Homo-oligomer: A and B are copies of this chain.
């Protein structure tokens, strides 16, 4: 009996560790889905990454609600990128999970095709606030700030580093 009880404790500990790792890899997968979704102009796939009331603040007027975020693939500016040839590429993010909420911090780059190779059109710091939903992790909010020497990008990165103290509730 004691052995069985001890085995039960070990199982429970393993299950908790498994959930923790699965969460982290699931969040990698979520971020790795974003780029193909927008670069192939897939409105539904983009929408589906966000929580219904989630938002995306990319530096201009923030998009509020998953459907508005998904509609970004039809923006003139996005269509112009796609017509020229673009790739939105995410870095390996720093992920902090706390129960049903998580934060991922990293960088995105937009590469844009020009006559002779690709131009690095945008380099941004990214903060993704994530929530666990019935069908997996969803984006509650994404915030981008250009790494152009202004303080906002650095501040966003600093928050990500010290995120354990302040995952939004």
Q: What is the 8 Å Cβ interface bit string for chain A, positions 104-148, against chain B (1 contact, 0 not)?
A: 011101010100011111110100000000000000000000111
Q: What is the 8 Å Cβ interface bit string for chain A, positions 16-41, against chain B (1 contact, 0 not)?
A: 01100110110011011101110111
Contact of A149 among B83, B125, B148, B149 (CB under 8 A): B83
Contact of A25 among B21, B31, B39, B125 (CB under 8 A): B21
Contact of A89 with B by CB under 8 A: yes
Q: How large is the interface on A (under 10, 10 to 19, 20 to 34, 35 or more residues)?
A: 35 or more
Take A7-B8, A8-B7, A118-B123 as given contacts and tell me if A147 and B39 are in contact as well, using a CB distance cutoff of 8 Å.
yes
Contact of A123 among B3, B10, B107, B111 (CB under 8 A): B111
Contact of A120 among B3, B91, B119, B125 (CB under 8 A): B119
Contact of A161 among B36, B85, B111, B119 (CB under 8 A): B36
Residues on the B chain within 8 Å of A74, using CB: none
Residues on the B chain within 8 Å of A93, using CB: 32
Question: CA A92 – CA B108 in complex, angstroms?
Answer: 12
- Minimum CB–CB distance from A39 to chain B (whole Å) comes to 5
* A36 adjacent to B111 (CB under 8 Å): no
Contact of A155 with B by CB under 8 A: yes
Contact of A89 among B91, B117, B148, B150 (CB under 8 A): B91
* B117 adjacent to A121 (CB under 8 Å): yes
The 3 closest A-B pairs by CB, nearest first: A85-B149, A36-B157, A118-B120
